[in-house]
């Protein structure tokens, strides 16, 4: 690997680590300035001042914020996310189970949405300004404009309530078979596919149309090549870099942005876990979940940058 390429990749990784550190500071600070008293929310309104004082001391709430942050960050670096205030369970163990469910859902949503969106983007370019292009654009614009929870409730009403083809609640357990799990997550997968597919399809179309304005595309057309060969053999390979960027960003959304979808379908993933503990004002859980979401998003952005550098020769050579 060329030295300048290694340097560029190392810079992106260092920037990602720096952003992750900054995110940890913002997440910790944001949870500390929330109104209300954590000890009061745990013990209830009938708690005595002595009990509140003892619990604050036990939770370390009397220590300076910087000390609490360094203690929390030290535990995170060692893989210890602490203990949930609401039930005393290990946050690390609880999150690993929920994260596995979220990644399972995101994987199947990506497996359907990524190839389908790229294919529809290519079809849209192939039939540019004709009825297939207009139909695909209209559907994608409608999908982008409607919030995902509304799409979720519509699909839930049609498939689960009216047609009764699928269960209304997407619960999965360890004793369920593989195909049982697929049936349980089918509706959330459909919603996530609709949500991310529209954006990826439009960006694929825009990236290919941008390449279609190049001189070598005009040369290929003058040689008498068919529109299919020009798009699939010449334009698409050179539009890979921006397409990969938007795919990676949407893959990050599939993990980070599933909170609403998981709540709609009562899916036992990270999003549902976060919402449950926000309502309980369980600060350690909120901090841990927020840090994991930030880590996933920063990592996917970093990978998108690295793939773009490797795939695009113009980005591999420093100016």
151-173 tens-digit pLDDT: 888 888 888 888 888 888 888 87
pTM of the prediction? Answer: 0.79
pLDDT for position 266 = 85
Rounded Cα–Cα distance for residues 201 and 218 (Å):
24
Domain map (residue ranges) of the chain: 94-267
Rounded Cα–Cα distance for residues 163 and 88 (Å):
42
pLDDT for position 106 = 87
pLDDT for position 128 = 83
The distance in angstroms from the start CA to the end CA of the chain is: 18
CA 30 to chain centre: 21
Q: Is the dihedral of CA 209, 213, 219, 221 positive or negative?
A: positive
Total length of the chain: 319
* Tens-level pLDDT at each residue, the chain (319 residues): 567 777 778 888 888 899 999 998 998 888 777 666 666 666 666 777 777 777 677 666 667 778 888 888 888 888 888 888 777 778 888 888 888 888 888 889 888 888 888 888 888 888 888 888 888 888 888 887 888 888 888 888 888 888 888 888 888 877 888 888 888 888 888 888 888 888 888 888 888 888 777 777 777 777 777 777 777 777 777 777 777 778 887 888 787 777 888 888 888 888 888 888 877 777 888 888 888 888 888 888 888 778 777 766 665 555 5
Rounded Cα–Cα distance for residues 296 and 302 (Å):
10
Q: Is the dihedral of CA 63, 64, 70, 76 positive or negative?
A: positive
Q: Which CATH architecture has domain 94-267?
A: Orthogonal Bundle (1.10)
Contacts with 21 (C-beta within 8 Å, 6 or more apart), sequence order? none
pLDDT for position 18 = 93
Please answer whether residues 168 and 186 qualify as being in contact, where contact means their C-beta atoms are separated by less than 8 angstroms. Answer: no
Coil, strand or helix: which one is 83? strand
Please answer whether residues 84 and 170 qualify as being in contact, where contact means their C-beta atoms are separated by less than 8 angstroms. Answer: no
Given its phi and psi angles, is residue 224 left (phi above 0), alpha (psi -120 to 50 degrees) or beta?
Answer: left
Coil, strand or helix: which one is 80? coil
Please answer whether residues 83 and 89 qualify as being in contact, where contact means their C-beta atoms are separated by less than 8 angstroms. Answer: yes
């Amino acid at each position: 690997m060329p030295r300048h390429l290694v340097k560029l990749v190392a810079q992106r990784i260092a920037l990602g680590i720096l952003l992750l550190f900054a995110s940890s500071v913002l997440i910790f600070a944001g949870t500390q300035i929330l109104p209300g008293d954590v000890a009061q929310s745990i013990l209830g309104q009938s708690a005595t001042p002595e009990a509140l004082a003892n619990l604050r001391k036990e939770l370390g709430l009397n220590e300076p914020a910087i000390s609490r942050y360094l203690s929390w960050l030290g535990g995170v670096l060692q893989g210890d996310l602490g203990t949930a205030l609401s039930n005393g369970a290990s946050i690390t163990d609880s999150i690993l189970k929920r994260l596995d469910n979220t990644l399972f859902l995101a994987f199947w949503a990506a497996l359907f949405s990524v190839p389908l969106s790229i294919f529809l983007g290519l079809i849209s370019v192939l039939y540019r300004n004709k009825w297939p292009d207009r139909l695909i654009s209209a559907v994608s614009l409608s999908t982008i404009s409607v919030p995902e929870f509304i799409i979720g409730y519509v699909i839930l009403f049609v498939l689960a309530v009216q047609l009764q083809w699928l269960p209304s609640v997407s619960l999965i357990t360890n004793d369920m078979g593989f195909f049982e799990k697929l049936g349980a997550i089918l509706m959330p997968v459909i919603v996530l596919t609709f949500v991310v597919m529209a954006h990826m399809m439009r960006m694929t179309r825009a990236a290919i149309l941008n390449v279609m304005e190049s001189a070598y595309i005009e040369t290929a057309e003058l040689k008498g090549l068919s529109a299919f060969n020009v798009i699939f053999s010449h334009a698409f390979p050179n539009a890979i870099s921006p397409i990969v960027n938007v795919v990676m960003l949407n893959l990050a959304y599939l993990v980070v942005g599933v909170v609403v979808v998981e709540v709609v379908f009562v899916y036992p993933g990270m999003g549902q876990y976060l919402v449950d503990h926000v309502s309980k004002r369980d600060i350690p859980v909120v901090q841990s979940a927020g840090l994991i979401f930030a880590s996933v998003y920063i990592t996917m952005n970093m990978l998108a940058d690295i793939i773009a550098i490797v795939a695009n020769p113009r980005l591999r050579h420093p100016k």
